[in-house]
Structure 1
Amino acid sequence: MHKSPPELASDIGSITASPPQEHNAHPAYRPDIDGLRAVAILSVVLFHAFPSKLRGGFVGVDIFFVISGFLISTIIFRSLQRGDFSFTEFYAHRIKRIFPALILVLAACYAFGWFALLPDEYKQLGKHMAAGAGFVQNFVIWKEAGYFDTASELKPLMHLWSLAIEEQFYLLYPVLIWGAWRMGLNVLTVVILLGLLSFGLNVGGIEKEAIKTFFLPQTRFWELLAGSVLAYVQLYKPAPFAAWLKRSLFHPLVFRQPPAAQRREAVLNNLLSGFGLFLIVLAVFGLHKGKLFPGWWALFPVLGACLLILAGPQAWVNRKILANRLMVFVGLISYPLYLWHWPILAFARIMESETPSRTIRMAAVVLSFVLAWLTYRLVERPIRFGRNTWVKTATLCVLMSVVGYVGYNAFMRDGLEFRYRQLTERNAQFIWVAENNQNEECKTSFPEFAKTGYCAKSKASGPTILLLGDSHANHLYPGMAAVTNSTVESVLNFGEGACLPFFDVASFQKGGQDPCADRMNRSLKVAEDTKSTRIIVVSSRGPLYLYGKGFGEIADEQSHDRALASTNNPSVSDFREVFKTGMRSTMERLTKKDKRVVFVLDVPELGFDPRSCVDIRPLRLTTRQIRQPCAVSRKDFDARNHEYREIVFSVLRDYPTVKIFDAAAELCDDKWCWAMKDGNMLYRDDDHLSVQGSEYIARTLSKLIDPAHK
């Protein structure tokens, strides 16, 4: 049965009468919206479990944002119109909707992590539990993001960033709309202006600060506000909007023979829903992590979701596909499914110390569905739809506070090391203490560098050896300090993580800002001007800067995406050219100052977690043997480093006084580049030396610096 034209989109805004004891109006149930939730959650789950198969599945989060903005705005707008909007009732409903499943998942992660995680991992879990309970996880993840951040696959509560953004919206948006309504402002105008402002911040920030733009609420609120605009139009201007759509779509310029008037509503709805589904499919299969997102690309899933909601439940796509019983079922459990699936996948990744097998990932998805259904039936529904009392809401708030405190306690107590004392001791080979990055001796001697990444000095005397570079210079420091301890040499370590140690070269995360050029210029200037310094050791993770990507299993981690630029010639976009020019300029200046320069050819990148080489895991999913051999193939190493080494040698041919130290020669043979030698773990992660590895390399490096040194 077709509706008359003025009722085109009224399905979207139809409101049921609220129960007598409640004030706020609530939308009539639309099974197709639950089906749209299913599209969103299935996209996200499949992307997380099989990222190579569904590269753009992350846009499911954007679809959720639109749905949330639409439904929440429908409640607020209609309740304000009726004059009975209640903040207390609004937030009580949000608490009963969100808190029960979240408390359960946080508590379950804490309990499972007690047995499965090492202290440093448990410490981070506790931090994220507190952030998740306080709905500030997006800010925490943003602050953590960077070159030295733990891979997202190893953070069981990483996904709570999106829930935090929704909750921040729920806190601010009702107050703002209520205030605009009371002042007599046009609410639609206010919402549109806020949405345009948020979208402008998103587009303006994505090129320079991609990670910040991805995680912060002000650059994501426009997606929820898109749903808000849709809700307002459908509630207050359905007839004029429907008429405008028909005039536009069935104009003679579009249709030579427009359909009959009685069929136009159905045709319009079907076109809207079909095009909306097309946009979402295009985003899910066409986008990938290499795109700067959200930015303009987010319009695809956002507009697609808006069009599907706008089309109404009678459109063919909505009626036959979205309102299908299976899709509705998935939509009903979509919230607990979102909460469960990522921790299960992340714990599997942690326990395996590598990407789990396809079988394990499939089992994780199945388990996520089972737990989501049980959570929905046994926890979510009874609390959400049971008797409405303030005691229930207060209890949930107390429980959430307790869970947050328990997590914070684990964080403050360094992951509760007493759980596994033996494992803590065996894990010590992977620990990098803060004193290897900074110490008081250096900060006192060079206070202007006290707040930089690295400032460590081995002795009180004037530095004779200066380590200069990124973290691949820093990881040489403990070894050099140890082997020179009984000599007259004093080692100074300057630098900044993920910063190429060349004059006038900007090095930054793609989509981020440059923290490097000024800091490295100042460090290099100290190297030039410090009279006591005779030897300058320059070291960095060279291939990373040439190719802008990580290596091996973490090659796709966005935190390792680097970009180079010349501050003297910003128009040069070729990283190789920037590298060569910066290196040549640096060698020129340092050698002219009569300094002995040692250029370190980088250690091999492993491309895997060296923890997979030793049996330190409290729990494992499989009984397979530990990684053998604990090494990266020489073939892969040579392929990664071939161009890097050619560039280095081509530059240093013009500077014969510069000595070359090949760190890889100490770790590689004809077939393998080893992470372990003689039972000693030489790496602490996929590309940084451990303290043992630092001492191992330093013994040979010190002989090159001072041949008399034994």
Structure 2
Amino acid sequence: MGRAEQLEISRKRKAIELSGSEGFRTDVNGLRAWAVMSVVLYHFGVYGFAGGFVGVDIFFVISGFLMAGIIFKGLEARGQGWFGSQFSLSDFYLSRARRIVPALAVLCVFLVVLGWLILFPVEYASLGKSIIAAIGFFSNREFNKEFSYFDDAAQENFLLHTWSLSVEWQFYMLLPLSILLLWRVSSNRDFHALIFIVGAAVSLAISMKFSSSKPMYAFYMLPSRAWELLLGGALFLASHRFVFGAMVRRWLEVLGYGLIVFSILMFDESTRWPGFNALVPVFGTLLVLVSAQQKSAFSSGKIAQWLGKNSYSIYLWHWPLAVGMLYIQGRNRPDFVFVGILLSIVLGWLSFRFVEVPGRRILSGKSKVVSVYRLVTVFVFVSCVGFLVTKVDNFYSHRLPEKAIQDFAELRDVNPRQAECHIYGTGVHPECTYGGEKLGAIVIGDSHAGALVRAVENSLPNKNLSVLDWTYAACPTILDIKHVSDSTYRCGETVRRFLEKSHHLPSSVPLIIINRLSVYTIGYNEPELKVKYGAPLNYLTKKHKVRDDEFLSEMQKGVIDTACEFAKDRPVYMVRPVPELAINVPKSMARGVLLGINGEVSISLDEYTRRQKYVVDTQDMAAARCGVKILDPIPILCGSGACRGDHDGLPIYFDDDHLSLRGANLLVPMFREIFEGR
């Protein structure tokens, strides 16, 4: 045999190894371990894994690679299927369903039972809707309508993680149909690889466009995610062209894992995603796949192989456990986190061993008809269970303790005119009034002002007086303030318009400024939002990447200048910050009753003082400069060295930092000080 023939044989052997046509690939299985553990550690808040959500992107690339392999190997093999091939469309769909459905169905039924024990009626109904969407593989569409993946509301949805299964399933439905149509044109792999690449380019363009303008769509929906799966498929099709020597392949793998690790370490919830940034882990994954290292130190070890084998079930079970950590306030406790991660792995193994493996066998049946019948039965059963969950709890809400129901109801103890009077975004400000016909006070500020405006109404000295509502969500009372990325933000110009209007209102009418000023200046205190919004979101003259002295001085000057401008016309009062408790008070207390734990929420007075020092100093400067008067709720809301989230055993907040109507009315005596002697 000549040298040229030996090289050609070697080339074909390496191409076969890369394409996976010789069977199981340990590198792909090990890569699954990297993907699932990065997601798990991210969701449990483990330090250093702020970008662990890229594990889903890794899964997408792997899925595209493997699905293309299954379809094209079947089409290229001679048999009795499509166009004389061995590929069967129905077999492909059934195989995917047998792989995905059993463990998902068991998880859904488990959550129905668990939800009956720990969820409130509105939450239980929401779980039912999520179950229907998850088993029907359209949960990504439903979540796209409801909330961002990184929002607080999303973090309490037990089936949030099924959005990625929906994306993959939708891809699985469309991919073979598209390939079969194109197969009529050409069976050449290079032709199909080119089509995959063109499709990926279009999808990536959609992803990059919508990552800024419609981030929820970009994150959840197939058109903006398909490029990741298509690039995996394109790599499989072009595998015969990527034949490298052993040394090059080792370095390609190192570079690939380097890009993956970089993504995990450097990206976080504030990163625009997926879009251009997702190219980093995607290309890292492609490099690992193209290197085809079957004895890699990164992926071939027993632990990596075991985790990879169980990765789907681990992924399914880890997220409900992470949500459970939130329910019992264990997200920030290392011992709880460790147990949660360990349970994710153990339950994943149990699911693989006793659900996935036997489930595939049971759903296979003796014939294709039997398989379809069994699968449809599972789909219908789980869907019906989900539907009943959306309805049944309306009749059995008394299953929960009355105290828990009472605490949970505080979530809705808000101004009944809030939707009408408290504007968001670019809405036209209605300038509502509460009370009588004669103007008695003006309340201006953000959502914290909106939470207290009715308490000001209740403090008015007579029924003929009214309160004018100048509240605007996420809008501190600072003239000409801007948002770093929201072009629709109208806060600064709205405050200026209010200032102009105030010149024409009776000068005896006091103006009360209420803001959650700490958020706009020193940042959020909620653990998740600290990461998501690390950099300042607002500015006056120039954007700042960090909350440095220059930024804080500029914001402080803006607060003082604005208050003093209003003070030229009338008495101005500034309310000291309401304690921010970082944990949803009514939910925590209600769940505490259900779980038999202490769900009460509080912070120490020292903690409050440290966090609000900048705000208090700013307000004191305004008082010294132009006579602004200070109203302090702390003597009412805090005592014995602590600021509590409840009063007389009931919540006084409707979330973690906004006072409910019950809580706001505790401050009526404080607001009455404004009108004494008038």
Q: Same fold, TM exceeding 0.5?
A: yes
**Pick aligned residue for 1:689 from 656, 659, 663:** 659
Which residue in the other structure is 1:707 paired with? 676
Q: Does 1:268 align with 2:219?
A: no
| Aligned pairs for 1:535-574 within 5 A | 535-547=510-522, 549-556=523-530, 558=532, 563-566=537-540, 569=541
Paired amino acid for 1:538: I
| Aligned pairs for 1:331-350 within 5 A | 331-350=308-327
- C-alpha separation in 1, matches of 2:456 and 2:118: 36
- C-alpha separation in 2, matches of 1:127 and 1:454: 35
Q: Does 1:231 align with 2:231?
A: no
Paired amino acid for 2:342: V
Is the Cα–Cα contact under 8 Å of residues 69 and 228 in structure 1 kept in the other structure? yes
Is the Cα–Cα contact under 8 Å of residues 105 and 340 in structure 1 kept in the other structure? yes
Q: Does 1:360 align with 2:336?
A: yes
Which residue in the other structure is 1:241 paired with? 242
CA change 1:425–1:37 in 2 (3 A) is closer
Is the Cα–Cα contact under 8 Å of residues 468 and 494 in structure 1 kept in the other structure? yes
- C-alpha separation in 2, matches of 1:206 and 1:182: 36
The CA deviation at 1:160 is: 2.0
| Aligned pairs for 1:493-532 within 5 A | 493-507=469-483, 514-517=488-491, 520=494, 524=498, 528=502
Structure 2 unaligned spans of 5+: 1-5, 78-82
TM-align CA RMSD? 4.0
Query: May I ask how many residue pairs the two structures share in their alignment?
Result: 653
- C-alpha separation in 2, matches of 1:134 and 1:563: 38
TM-score by length of 1: 0.79
| Aligned pairs for 1:172-251 within 5 A | 172-182=174-184, 186-203=191-208, 206=211, 213-234=218-239, 238=240, 240-242=241-243, 246=244
Q: Percent identity?
A: 27
Which residue in the other structure is 2:80 paired with? none
CA change 1:493–1:399 in 2 (3 A) is farther
**Pick aligned residue for 1:12 from 6, 10, 18:** 18
Per-residue CA distance 1:392-422 (angstroms, 9 max, x = gap):
3354345435534544564577876333151
Per-residue CA distance 1:426-466 (angstroms, 9 max, x = gap):
314632246535367x69xx9x9996799865347476444
The CA deviation at 1:541 is: 1.0
Q: Secondary structure at the match of 1:60?
A: helix
Is the Cα–Cα contact under 8 Å of residues 39 and 54 in structure 2 kept in the other structure? yes
| Aligned pairs for 1:269-668 within 5 A | 269-314=249-294, 316-317=295-296, 322-350=299-327, 352-355=328-331, 357-385=333-361, 386-387=364-365, 389-397=368-376, 399-404=378-383, 406-407=385-386, 410-411=389-390, 417-420=397-400, 422-428=402-408, 430-433=410-413, 435-438=415-418, 457-459=433-435, 461=437, 464-484=440-460, 487-507=463-483, 514-517=488-491, 520=494, 524=498, 528=502, 534-547=509-522, 549-556=523-530, 558=532, 563-566=537-540, 569=541, 575-576=551-552, 579-580=555-556, 582-583=558-559, 586-587=562-563, 590-591=566-567, 594-611=569-586, 614=589, 617=592, 619-620=594-595, 630-651=601-622, 653-656=624-627, 658-668=628-638
Per-residue CA distance 1:555-600 (angstroms, 9 max, x = gap):
536379760134xx455776536634654564466456x4544332
Per-residue CA distance 1:484-526 (angstroms, 9 max, x = gap):
4962222344534323344432347xx6664453894598379
The CA deviation at 1:664 is: 3.4
Which residue in the other structure is 1:249 paired with? none
- C-alpha separation in 1, matches of 2:196 and 2:129: 35
Structure 1 unaligned spans of 5+: 17-27, 247-264
Which residue in the other structure is 2:3 paired with? none
Per-residue CA distance 1:250-309 (angstroms, 9 max, x = gap):
xxxxxxxxxxxxxxx332332322332333334334544454444554333222221222
TM-score by length of 2: 0.83
- C-alpha separation in 2, matches of 1:456 and 1:402: 50
Is the Cα–Cα contact under 8 Å of residues 146 and 559 in structure 1 kept in the other structure? no
Is the Cα–Cα contact under 8 Å of residues 147 and 497 in structure 1 kept in the other structure? no
CA change 1:676–1:560 in 2 (3 A) is farther
CA change 1:293–1:675 in 2 (3 A) is same
CA change 1:371–1:162 in 2 (3 A) is same
Paired amino acid for 2:538: L
Is the Cα–Cα contact under 8 Å of residues 139 and 163 in structure 2 kept in the other structure? yes
- C-alpha separation in 1, matches of 2:251 and 2:405: 64
Paired amino acid for 2:465: E
Paired amino acid for 1:430: E
Which residue in the other structure is 2:124 paired with? 122
Paired amino acid for 2:608: F
The CA deviation at 1:603 is: 0.7
CA change 1:158–1:575 in 2 (3 A) is farther
Paired amino acid for 2:124: Y
- C-alpha separation in 1, matches of 2:543 and 2:496: 23
CA change 1:204–1:428 in 2 (3 A) is closer
The CA deviation at 1:604 is: 1.6
Is the Cα–Cα contact under 8 Å of residues 124 and 390 in structure 2 kept in the other structure? yes
CA change 1:643–1:439 in 2 (3 A) is closer
- C-alpha separation in 1, matches of 2:393 and 2:513: 34
Paired amino acid for 1:659: K
- C-alpha separation in 2, matches of 1:455 and 1:144: 28
- C-alpha separation in 2, matches of 1:382 and 1:452: 59
Is the Cα–Cα contact under 8 Å of residues 432 and 691 in structure 1 kept in the other structure? no
